[in-house]
Structure 1
């Protein structure tokens, strides 16, 4: 057993981290919890330790402390590894704000002498678009299909992901076997070898030129087999291999704050929550009637924090006239503040024809009003994504300055 001194500063995940660090499988013991560098200097005088763990928020860390530590390793869990390397830290561990306790394994590997050289990370240039909705019959699957078809017509590679763990339907609507080479298989592959190669995406069905499909769960009860780390990795690898990732995240959302911790446990809404973490664009679907608008407004106001990191668009289906479209659009903007509202008419004949032939309305009737509206929305999202990428490419990254208490 190796004794450690831990001084994490004012972070809300300190108790979970210290508790996990003392797990018997790591062979580590937290000998003392300190508040700052002065407390660390006092602790190393009275206890024997084999390492000190600090973070960016640990106050009063200076070179005098580094001298007094001598041969005792200083491990920094940080978002600014360059700073700590220049400072003289023995080892730096990248801090994942979405899952801070993931550093536990890396700390244990360091003290076991199993530290591996960091692998070069492939930049994810793709755009993840999450299709959400509150309740059933809000048009999520319809939006995923038609919007994905329009993205494929823009020349980029697109993939549809059926993340509805309550009742996946995309594979059925497009005529593919339920769950074949789908979401569950992809996550299991990730759990076994931690990375998806490009060849792993070649096994999923190609429903049209430049358009692929990752089917949903074979049975809704299999949601317990989906783990948060594997889902996060899946979204990342999908954005690395495709230009557009369009995911149906299901009819129910939940502000599950426990998602940050205990990532080895199954979570009922892990697929939708991790998708919203990854997505830069969210399209919320609803029916253009009193019930649909009420669900949309109530759901958005209740779960607005889930959409805070993405650009939000609204898709309303079932409008009957121009005045109806104008009225429902104004109502959504007035109650939610969302100005990007797209409306599409109700056409049962066109929808039934596309469903019977396992195809898309945009493919069968390019001049239909539904096709025109989805084409317009796809171009707006794609143009905004291109502008964002151009700004990112010309902006020089700035070194993050550490905030320390006096």
Structure 2
């Protein structure tokens, strides 16, 4: 099942629309000309564009825009002239306008399988770097920037060409939806958990409850958080575990924004079967292949991070934890703030490695104002560059080195070299 945008003759569209919807596809736009299609690509984020093969709906500009965003384009030709025009501009997925809908639906559903770099059989047997299916972003109390990091890590993973889901699993109230300007009337992740608890969370349901963040060449799916903190009992340990397992099968990377609390005092209650408020956080951390521990670069924030890190490594292996220190600035730490942060982490926690993110209030304010990621709102900001470098270095597989080519000298130079 795919998200389709249509730009067809009205009579042709009427003949196939009902069958495409009945087959499970989602029609995200019904348009007239190729300029309308071009304008909607970044707004509605279709996976497949079905257009007429005539010049009114199919042009080299539209085809180039679809190729740039990884969107498939399928044309329906009324005549040999239209088919030739489509082939001339480089589009080869062309069907006759009178083709049975079943044949069109098979082409839409089939497509070209792009091997994932996560668990790709082609990379088996060699060191392809860390394979991180689920990335949990945790941070202590005090708003260290956990949600900002989670949102932009998901954006950079999507920009690298992966299928990414961003999950708001904070049992104390979601923040991802307002940051990205998405509707939060219905909690997407809570719905996924309820379906997973009933064994009904399949691919169709995941596509139905997810909201899409549309961005040029970097869209990703978002499962919004709780509408209010009083609904935390919906995020039980078993449900969260089952929901993340289903998402792992559908997406290459699942980035989870967790809660801050690691307390287990609630388990001392008499009722051992009562729901646990922090169960969602513990379940996400247990399922994660990589955990980002985010803290603030000031005396209070570093103190909280160091205490929380000690509790965190009691729950997950230290090898799976990456320490990320946010908003590093000399105004809070004095001269050479980066060195002071590293010295503090090394002295009090024995942490030799940490990722330091610069304080970049202008870029984060722009992203919040526009309800976009840093990649879209401030692509050249230092904070975005630091997050991209972390994703490239720690989360993405290492690219396979290009084979070395032996230089071939001209015959005359080869003889001179031998001489």
Aligned to 1:198: 203
- Alignment counterpart, residue 354 of structure 1, candidates 347, 367, 375: 367
In the TM superposition, 1:359-374 aligns within 5 A as 359-374=372-387
Q: Secondary structure at the match of 1:315?
A: strand
| Range that drifts further, 310-319 or 168-177 | 310-319
Aligned to 2:184: 178
User: Are the equivalent residues in 1 in contact too, given 2:360–2:382 (CA < 8 A)?
Assistant: no
Aligned to 1:343: 356
Aligned to 2:299: 290
Gapped regions of structure 2 (runs ≥ 5):
1-118, 121-130, 401-419
Instruction: Compute the RMSD of aligned alpha carbons.
Output: 2.7
* 1:337 to partner: Cα distance: 2.7
Query: Is 1:165 the equivalent of 2:171?
Result: yes
User: Are the equivalent residues in 2 in contact too, given 1:179–1:216 (CA < 8 A)?
Assistant: no
Query: Is 1:222 the equivalent of 2:231?
Result: yes
User: Are the equivalent residues in 1 in contact too, given 2:360–2:381 (CA < 8 A)?
Assistant: no
* 1:298 to partner: Cα distance: 1.3
Aligned to 1:269: 278
Calculate the TM-score normalised by the size of structure 1: 0.60
Alignment partners' CA distance in 1, 2:246 and 2:273 = 20
Aligned to 2:79: none
Aligned to 1:328: 341
* 1:310 to partner: Cα distance: 5.3
Q: Secondary structure at the match of 1:267?
A: coil
Alignment partners' CA distance in 2, 1:263 and 1:198 = 34
1:286/1:130 Cα in 2 relative to 1: closer, same or farther (>3 Å)? Answer: same
Alignment partners' CA distance in 2, 1:381 and 1:195 = 34
- Alignment counterpart, residue 375 of structure 1, candidates 344, 368, 388: 388
User: Are the equivalent residues in 2 in contact too, given 1:155–1:210 (CA < 8 A)?
Assistant: no
User: Are the equivalent residues in 1 in contact too, given 2:163–2:251 (CA < 8 A)?
Assistant: yes
1:126/1:239 Cα in 2 relative to 1: closer, same or farther (>3 Å)? Answer: farther
Number of residue pairs aligned between Structure 1 and Structure 2: 262
User: Are the equivalent residues in 1 in contact too, given 2:187–2:227 (CA < 8 A)?
Assistant: no
Aligned to 1:213: 222
Alignment partners' CA distance in 1, 2:329 and 2:369 = 24
Aligned to 1:148: 154
Alignment partners' CA distance in 1, 2:320 and 2:133 = 12
* 1:384 to partner: Cα distance: 5.5
Q: Secondary structure at the match of 1:240?
A: helix
Alignment partners' CA distance in 1, 2:388 and 2:226 = 29
Query: Is 1:300 the equivalent of 2:309?
Result: yes
1:320/1:385 Cα in 2 relative to 1: closer, same or farther (>3 Å)? Answer: same
Alignment partners' CA distance in 1, 2:197 and 2:272 = 13
* 1:146 to partner: Cα distance: 1.2
Alignment partners' CA distance in 2, 1:334 and 1:195 = 49
1:308/1:126 Cα in 2 relative to 1: closer, same or farther (>3 Å)? Answer: closer
User: Are the equivalent residues in 2 in contact too, given 1:148–1:159 (CA < 8 A)?
Assistant: yes
Alignment partners' CA distance in 1, 2:185 and 2:351 = 35
1:179/1:164 Cα in 2 relative to 1: closer, same or farther (>3 Å)? Answer: farther
User: Are the equivalent residues in 1 in contact too, given 2:266–2:276 (CA < 8 A)?
Assistant: no
In the TM superposition, 1:60-139 aligns within 5 A as 127-139=133-145
* 1:263 to partner: Cα distance: 8.9
User: Are the equivalent residues in 2 in contact too, given 1:133–1:140 (CA < 8 A)?
Assistant: yes
* 1:365 to partner: Cα distance: 2.5
Query: Is 1:312 the equivalent of 2:321?
Result: yes
* 1:309 to partner: Cα distance: 6.6
Alignment partners' CA distance in 2, 1:264 and 1:379 = 43
Aligned to 2:252: 243
Q: Secondary structure at the match of 1:167?
A: coil
Alignment partners' CA distance in 2, 1:221 and 1:144 = 23
Calculate the TM-score normalised by the size of structure 2: 0.58
Aligned to 1:189: 195
Deviations 1:2-43 (A, max 9, x none): xxxxxxxxxxxxxxxxxxxxxxxxxxxxxxxxxxxxxxxxxx
Q: Secondary structure at the match of 1:202?
A: helix
Gapped regions of structure 1 (runs ≥ 5):
1-122, 388-406
Alignment partners' CA distance in 1, 2:181 and 2:221 = 13
Aligned to 2:89: none
